[in-house]
Structures are given as structure tokens and as C-alpha cells.
Amino acid sequence: MTLHSVPAAKRAIPATGVNALYDRVSKVIPSVEWPVFAPDIEAILKLKRERNAVILGHNYQTPEIFHCVSDIVGDSLALAREAARTDADVIVLAGVHFMAETAKLLNPEKTVLIPDLRAGCSLAESITGADVRLLRQRYPGVPVVTYVNTSAEVKAESDICCTSGNAKAVIESLGVDRVIMLPDEYLAKNIAAETKVQVIAWHGRCEVHERFEVDDIRRLRRAHPGVTVLAHPECSPAVAAEADFVGSTQGMTDYVSREHPARVVLITECSMSDNIAVQHPDIEFVRPCNLCPHMKRITLPKIRRALETMTHAIEIDPAIAAPARRAVERMLQVKAR
């Protein structure tokens, strides 16, 4: 099992000719749906120019967002890196709330918008800052490595953050024998199998990835002989062991580009397959579908409204922001292995 990540992709989106964008997504969006999307896309592109805004699109966004209005796309690590580099005045996070908080931590002087405040995360909701403080009391002196899928409050109680793409490198960079890794139980266990460092796990789980089971993969292999199975490390260790490759969403994207399997299944959120299929029309994508209800709260009309009204702006208590920022910045200094 190898965990892998690559840099975010930057998009050149034309200022005119919105209908020309349909060529990008024609394989995954029916032509009858395009007239519904086009007016919002055109308005968003215009508003971005007027606001000096950039849209960061996570890999789980739907194709019309991911391919047609997002300027930078990738997994949470890639988006965090690019958020720290952008010269835009406004950042719109097409993702979930903790990602917008992370962008704000790295860009305290910029306006960071989340199109829907209800776009949360089951992992972020599984732990609080008070929980981290209690863990520190139970395991004095043990470093706390916190997954970016957490609130700023939890990051502020941590020593360093990580993503699914760099978790092993982050843990091993600390040079210790034991760490606390929060909050994803399955990610922690999958990383523990990759390193000699003892990993103390929390009990949080992703509501999308925990639903995949070993029998699901075995049925897919029977129904689609020769299929290559790629799984996200938020899946259970049993599912990870059943897969051909385990990696972050960006790691999966890179694997498909590098290995070019004839037939592939991504054991992760639904939209990943559509977004990669746009770039690889000759590859057959088998699509088991577990939707993230929070990611799907982000829509083109909501992105448009966010730019029109400059809502919803992310604000973080400075007392929380300073230590949380240190944990994120420390992660960004770790070199991938």
C-alpha cells in the first residue's frame, strides 16, 4: 500500500466563449443539462474577474464546478499549498468548511468564502478541542498529528497537521516512536501499517468511505474482470488490503495518469470518477457511488451568489488562528517521501 500525492492543477479558464467549456465535460454531462449550467458559469467567470477572485475546487466537486469554474483543483493538501500562494483578493472554497478555514488560516488578510455554511464533515464533527486536551493528559508528551479534516479549534490544540497524501511523511518527520493521530480511525490504522511509529487512533470515520466493504470490491472484480481497484485510505484496513493501490484523491489521479489501466474503479466519493474520466476518455471507469452530502451542498448557483453577495465569509478567533496556523504551516514544510 502506497500513499501518494501530487501538486494541485491550475486551470486556464477562458474569459469568453462559455459554451466552448462544454467540450471539456461533454463525456460526463449530458448536452440537455448544459443550458442549465451555462448562465451560472458565465456569471461566475465575470464575477471572478471583477472581484479578483480565485475558486479552489476539491476533487469531490461535480464536473461543472471542477472543470468549468475552478481555477485550482486538487486534494486538501494541494489546495492548502495553493491557498498559501495565491495573489487573489478573494478565495472561494468549493469544498467543505474545514477547507475554507484552512485557506483563511493561510490567508488571514484575504476574504475567504464558503458558498454553503452547512457543508461540513463527519470527521471534523467527531472531535473537539476539549477531546484533544484530554488525550494529551492521557498520553503526556506524545505529539498530536491532526488530519486537516478538522476544525480550526482542533488544529490549534495540535502539534502538526497532515492529509491523507502526506500523513506518513508527517508522522515520520517528528522522529518519535509514538504519535496520536486524529480523528480518522481508519486512516490512522492504514498509516500504522506503513510505518514503525506507534499510532494512537481516535474513533472518527468518514461517512462516505466507511460504507465501502470488502464484499463490494469482490463483487466488482467478479462483475468487471481485470478491473484495477484504487481505494482512499479513509476506507477500512480490510478494504485497503483488498485494493490494488491506496492513496489520496490526488494520488489516485496520478496513478491513473501514470499506469493508464484499461478499466478502473475508485473506492471513494462519486464525483472523482467523473472528474478523472474527463481527462481519460479511453479508460473505462466503473462507478460505485457513495455521495458526500456535504460536498454536494456546493453548487454553481451558490458559488455565484457567494461572489455576488460576498458570503459566507470565514472568520476565525485570533487566539485559535495563531496556533492552528502554526500546525498547518508546519505540515506544509514537510517534504513528501
pLDDT tens digits along 94-131:
999 999 999 999 999 999 999 999 999 999 999 999 99
Is residue 187 domain-resident?
yes
Sign of CA dihedral 56, 162, 266, 262: positive
Q: Is residue 194 packed enough to be buried (19+ CB in 10 Å), middle (13-18) or exposed (0-12)?
A: middle
- Cell, residue 204: 472518527
What's the CA gap between 313 and 311, in Å, rounded? 5
Is residue 193 domain-resident?
yes
Is residue 3 domain-resident?
no
Q: Are residues 184 and 321 in the same domain?
A: yes
**pLDDT reading at 14 higher than 60:** no
Is residue 4 domain-resident?
no
**Helix, strand, coil content of the chain in percent (nearest 5):** 45, 15, 40
The confidence score (pLDDT) of residue 78 equals: 85
Confidence class for position 5, pLDDT limits 50, 70, 90: very low
The confidence score (pLDDT) of residue 17 equals: 72
Q: Where are the beta strands (DSSP E) in the chain?
A: 9-10, 53-58, 72-74, 90-94, 111-113, 144-147, 160-162, 178-182, 198-201, 228-231, 245-246, 263-267, 284-286
**pLDDT reading at 24 higher than 70:** yes
* Cell 476518455 -> residue: 281
Q: Are residues 60 and 112 in the same domain?
A: yes
The confidence score (pLDDT) of residue 127 equals: 98
The confidence score (pLDDT) of residue 288 equals: 77
Tens of pLDDT, residues 127-186: 999 999 999 999 999 999 999 999 999 999 999 999 999 999 999 999 999 999 999 999
The confidence score (pLDDT) of residue 198 equals: 98
User: Strand pairing partners for 313?
Assistant: 113
Tens of pLDDT, residues 293-307: 999 999 999 999 999
Strand order in the sheet with 178-182: 160-162, 144-147, 178-182, 198-201
Q: Are residues 172 and 256 in the same domain?
A: no
Please report the DSSP string for 168-220 in residue order.
Answer: HHHHHHT--SEEEEESBHHHHHHHHTT-SSEEEE--B--TTGGG--HHHHHHH
Q: Of the candidates 296, 297, 294, 309, which has an alpha carbon nearest to the alpha carbon of residue 90?
A: 309
* Cell 489516485 -> residue: 252
Tens of pLDDT, residues 179-236: 999 999 999 999 999 999 999 999 999 999 999 999 999 999 999 999 999 999 999 9
The confidence score (pLDDT) of residue 15 equals: 44
Residue 246 dihedral angles phi and psi, to the nearest 5° = -125, 125
Q: Are residues 163 and 245 in the same domain?
A: no
The confidence score (pLDDT) of residue 7 equals: 44
The confidence score (pLDDT) of residue 1 equals: 37
Is residue 278 domain-resident?
yes
**pLDDT reading at 289 higher than 90:** no
CATH at 79: 3.40.50.10800
76-83 and 97-106 helices cross at what angle (nearest 10)?
30
Q: Which amino acid is at 177?
A: D
Q: Of the candidates 301, 305, 316, 290, which has an alpha carbon nearest to the alpha carbon of residue 122?
A: 290
The confidence score (pLDDT) of residue 80 equals: 86
CA distances from 122 to 119, 192, 203 (A): 10, 22, 11
Confidence class for position 11, pLDDT limits 50, 70, 90: low
**pLDDT reading at 10 higher than 80:** no
Is residue 146 domain-resident?
yes
Please state, as a whole number, how many other Cβ atoms lie within 10 Å of the Cβ of residue 138.
10
Q: Are residues 199 and 172 in the same domain?
A: yes
Residue 222 dihedral angles phi and psi, to the nearest 5° = -70, -40
The confidence score (pLDDT) of residue 2 equals: 37
Mean pLDDT comparison of 78-82, 91-95, 288-292, highest-scoring range: 91-95
Q: Are residues 108 and 43 in the same domain?
A: yes
Tens of pLDDT, residues 235-274: 999 999 999 999 999 899 999 999 999 999 999 998 999 9
Q: Are residues 106 and 198 in the same domain?
A: no
Is residue 1 domain-resident?
no
Q: Are residues 165 and 223 in the same domain?
A: no
Full domain range(s) for residue 63: 9-120+295-309
The confidence score (pLDDT) of residue 3 equals: 38
Provide the mean pLDDT of the chain. 93
The confidence score (pLDDT) of residue 188 equals: 98
pTM (predicted TM-score): 0.91
Buried b (16+ CB within 10 A) or exposed e, 13-44: beeeebeebbebbeebbeeeebeebbebbbbb
Q: Are residues 29 and 111 in the same domain?
A: yes
Query: How many domains is the chain partitioned into structurally?
Result: 3
Q: Are residues 114 and 17 in the same domain?
A: yes
Q: Are residues 325 and 279 in the same domain?
A: no
Tens of pLDDT, residues 25-75: 999 999 999 999 999 999 999 999 999 999 999 999 999 999 999 999 998
Is residue 68 domain-resident?
yes
Q: Are residues 17 and 78 in the same domain?
A: yes
